[in-house]
Amino acid sequence: MTSSSLKYSKDNTDKRLDYNSLRQLKEEAYKNLKKRVLKDDAIGINENGTFYLKGDYYEKQLRIALRNCGIIDPGNIEDSIATDGYKALADLLENNVSGQQIVDDMTRANLRGRGGAGFNAGRKWAEALSHEAPHKYIVCNADEGDPGAFMDRSILELDPHSVLEGMAIAGYAIGADKGFIYVRAEYPLAVRNLKIAINQAMEKGLLGDNILGSNFSFSIELRLGAGAFVCGEATALIESIEGHRGMPRNKIFRTAHKGLFQMPTVLNNVETLANVHMIMLNGVDWFRSIGTKDSPGTKVFSVVGKVLNAGLVEVPMGTPLTSIIYDISGGIKNNKKLKAVQTGGPSGGCIPASLVESTTVDFECLESLGSIMGSGGMVVMDEDDCMVDIARFFMEFTVEESCGKCTPCRVGNKRILETLDRITQGQGSEKDLPYLKELSEVIRDTSLCGLGQAATNPVLSTLRYFENEYISHVKNKRCMAKVCRNLLIYFVGEGCIGCGLCKINCPVKCIEGERKIRHIIDPEKCIKCGTCMEKCPVHAITLS
């Protein structure tokens, strides 16, 4: 045992790369990858030798953060090296580029935080660099919690090394020696692939002590989130890593000044870190040439809902919303009409169809419409969606996920949800609407953390753009989209053949009628379960 473990450790040391052997390995690995890719119909090769995913859906996108997803084998570090993985880090180390230089470049690149807040990542790095401290930390926020969002998940599962390299570069720039990836435990494949990737990078000397033979040492550990949405909030995430209950801190200091264990901490999102490699390799000017002046680069969206092709879409910032929905995602399913697009996850806002035409996806435009970029969730809704119910649905999520610390988020959001519940059940009154608006605004303006501050966005934006739907719910007790069950009336039409199937199956016996004569539903007793409609053989029962 002793001799074999010794041998293993010797082998282990032998695998550590230096600058030259990394370059050699790249050549070799590239050949292997190319050989495999040539056999794969789904992957094409560009003139410059890089690879791309074939097909309209992918070719209409600009995939920078997702560059390797679906192309390389995430379980094999050599695939990553073949596509220039760790080259950016190696170049910086080999050329002794100063931390200040990297931070300046990053600041100029204006890579805005892809987690939602949109803060210039370089400025965070610069602040962390400016503070002297015995330890500094890089934390990767991989606690992607928005329902229906899977941008970060795809990067972690399919290209984990891009995140590791981004963290190492950030660590080198600010003088950190330790990184944490806070990843939600509900992503088991991401966790597995990250573990494999970290081990392989350690083995190759691309992480750990004296990376590539330089003086720079940087190690990364995983921390698994236990399923709290609020832990995606920076300070709650830090509390959680420290072993406390994940609740946001009262922000007296920026995390870049006093963050994890009260040390300067750079906390970046997965997608943000996946961009770092490309900025370092291709330069700031290249990055700034993509996207808009104030929002450079690309953004990954997870487009879901009533579109034909749901999936991840990466496009330059400033791309028209219509081009994402129609050109790339194939338009609305079943030839229905677009009603609204909700961006930014559960705390985003709903943009009505009338404004979708003129909307571009960048921080400024989305905010001006009362929505947010968020981490890139995009839910497309059609005429069958009730906007009051949509607002209720998202509030249900934030109420469930509130940490319970501050009053507006803990109690206020609950009261909003209760009011929306009443409205969708036909018990609302006109007085509810100004109250909803005032309370939503107070919650937005007074909550302790981002979760509470953005929680009422779905309510405020639907009140702003779809007030008529609210009014019809509270005044006429009607749901135009026919979603709110309690507001529906089941009606037996002239087509009824009097077969009695509806009457037999009705669980509350509210249908009457003689055989072969048109039946009648008592709307007072009806519980709107829909069984009669389902059972009617001639589709004579309709909703009104």
Applying CB under 8 A, the residues found at the interface with other proteins are 228, 245, 247, 250, 252, 399-408, 410-415, 418, 435, 438-439, 442, 445-448, 453
Measured from the CB of residue 425, what is the shortest distance to other proteins in angstroms?
14
Measured from the CB of residue 290, what is the shortest distance to other proteins in angstroms?
30
**Pick 411 or 517: Cβ nearer other proteins:** 411
**Cα–Cα separations (whole angstroms), residue 456 to 25, 157, 172, 416, 443:** 52, 32, 39, 8, 7
CB-based contact 255:140 (threshold 8 Å)? no
**Pick 286 or 435: Cβ nearer other proteins:** 435
CA distance 61 to 279: 18
DSSP E strands, 194-348: 219-225, 265-269, 298-305, 311-316, 319-320, 338-343
**Pick 290 or 406: Cβ nearer other proteins:** 406
Measured from the CB of residue 412, what is the shortest distance to other proteins in angstroms?
5
Measured from the CB of residue 426, what is the shortest distance to other proteins in angstroms?
18
Strand partners, 182: 141, 223
**Pick 224 or 497: Cβ nearer other proteins:** 224
**Pick 112 or 405: Cβ nearer other proteins:** 405
Measured from the CB of residue 251, what is the shortest distance to other proteins in angstroms?
9
**Pick 401 or 469: Cβ nearer other proteins:** 401
8 contact partners, CB below 8 Å, separation of at least 6: none
Measured from the CB of residue 373, what is the shortest distance to other proteins in angstroms?
17
Report how far Cα 463 is from the mean position of its chain's Cα atoms.
24
Measured from the CB of residue 430, what is the shortest distance to other proteins in angstroms?
14
Measured from the CB of residue 250, what is the shortest distance to other proteins in angstroms?
4
Measured from the CB of residue 456, what is the shortest distance to other proteins in angstroms?
13
331: left (phi over 0), alpha (psi -120 to 50) or beta: left
Helix axes 467-474, 457-465, angle to 10 degrees: 90
Alpha helices, DSSP H, located in 44-111:
56-59, 77-82, 87-94, 99-109
Helix axes 99-109, 121-130, angle to 10 degrees: 150
CA distance 254 to 372: 22
CA distance 537 to 378: 38
Measured from the CB of residue 263, what is the shortest distance to other proteins in angstroms?
21
The alpha carbon torsion through 146, 148, 296, 448 (nearest 10 deg) reads -10
Dihedral sign (CA 380, 386, 391, 397): negative
CA distance 119 to 157: 25
**Pick 207 or 395: Cβ nearer other proteins:** 395
For 385, the token pair is 């969606």
DSSP letter (8 states) at residue 332: B
Query: Which residue, chain included where needed, has tokens 């969606």?
Result: 385
